[in-house]
């Protein structure tokens, strides 16, 4: 079950009001994915073909509308995690989950900004979602290692860092990322995590920032 979150709409909502609210949500989903989190109230209202005042009447603030949009995406991420944890093939289940995450981060600029910005973890509304996703990933990695399908010296933090790297498609030395680049890099990453080369890993895995703590090892 996902963390508690505010209801999307008040009871007894009029049909015209509901249509405007849904248009604003649709506009937010598109603009957050395309442009990131720095879109303005005017951008959202123009895309939804409503007045700025309607946005504030329906959601209270631009931030509340963006928050609801991002929580919807995090819900879908957790749905994918729950499906993976319900499976019986630890490594393929993990790969399917990470594929969903890579696709989301590549396609949704706002989500990529959300998970990368330290100030995210100061927002209490996101904390339960992020902690649950972290715990789910940790469990998936542990299951794959217990099954002998993943090298034992890798942590879930390593996997998350590599997944984020695979999702970051940028021009490099004149090379532009191709379609499906994120999935391609994910496949290379997972093959590397399952190969038993006998070489130990240098250094330490990523550590929690000072803005987030939990009981995960």
> Looking at the structure, do residues 29 and 89 belong to the same domain, yes or no?
no
Q: Which DSSP category does 175 fall into?
A: B
> Looking at the structure, do residues 76 and 173 belong to the same domain, yes or no?
yes
- Range 67-82 burial, b when 16+ CB lie within 10 A, else e: bbbbbebbeebbebbe
> Looking at the structure, do residues 103 and 186 belong to the same domain, yes or no?
yes
> What pLDDT is attached to residue 95?
94
> What pLDDT is attached to residue 209?
67
Sign of CA dihedral 25, 28, 33, 36: negative
Tally of residues, the chain: 217
> Looking at the structure, do residues 46 and 144 belong to the same domain, yes or no?
no
> Residue 54: which domain range?
15-60
pLDDT (tens place) for every residue of the chain, 217 residues total: 566 665 555 556 678 889 999 999 999 999 999 999 999 999 999 999 999 999 999 999 999 999 999 999 999 999 999 999 999 999 999 999 999 999 999 899 999 888 887 776 678 899 899 999 999 999 999 999 999 999 999 999 999 999 988 887 666 677 777 778 888 888 888 888 886 656 676 777 777 766 555 666 5
**Domains of the chain: total:** 2
Q: Do residues 189 and 166 touch, judged by C-beta distance below 8 A?
A: yes
> What pLDDT is attached to residue 115?
82
> What pLDDT is attached to residue 217?
58
> Looking at the structure, do residues 77 and 182 belong to the same domain, yes or no?
yes
> Looking at the structure, do residues 162 and 189 belong to the same domain, yes or no?
yes
**133: in domain:** yes
Report how far residue 167's alpha carbon sits from residue 107's, in angstroms, rounded to the nearest whole number. 9
> What pLDDT is attached to residue 52?
96
């Amino acid at each position: 079950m996902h963390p508690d979150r505010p209801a999307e709409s008040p009871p007894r909502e009029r049909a015209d009001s509901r249509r405007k609210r849904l248009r604003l949500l649709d506009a937010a989903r598109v603009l957050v994915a395309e442009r990131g989190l720095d879109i303005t109230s005017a951008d959202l209202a123009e895309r939804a073909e409503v007045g700025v005042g309607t946005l504030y009447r329906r959601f209270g603030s631009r931030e509340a509308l963006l928050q609801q949009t991002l929580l919807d995406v995090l819900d879908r991420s957790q749905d994918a995690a729950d499906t993976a944890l319900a499976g019986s093939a630890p490594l393929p289940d993990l790969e399917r989950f990470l594929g969903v995450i890579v696709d989301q981060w590549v396609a949704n600029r706002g989500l990529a900004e959300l998970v990368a910005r330290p100030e995210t973890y100061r927002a209490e509304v996101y904390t339960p979602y992020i902690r649950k996703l972290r715990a789910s990933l940790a469990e998936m990695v542990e299951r794959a290692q217990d099954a002998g399908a993943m090298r034992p010296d890798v942590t879930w933090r390593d996997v998350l860092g590599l997944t984020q790297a695979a999702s970051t498609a940028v021009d490099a030395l004149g090379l532009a990322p191709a379609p499906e680049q994120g999935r391609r890099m994910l496949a290379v990453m997972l093959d590397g995590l399952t190969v038993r080369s006998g070489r130990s890993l240098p250094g330490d895995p990523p550590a929690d920032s000072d803005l987030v703590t939990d009981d995960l090892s």
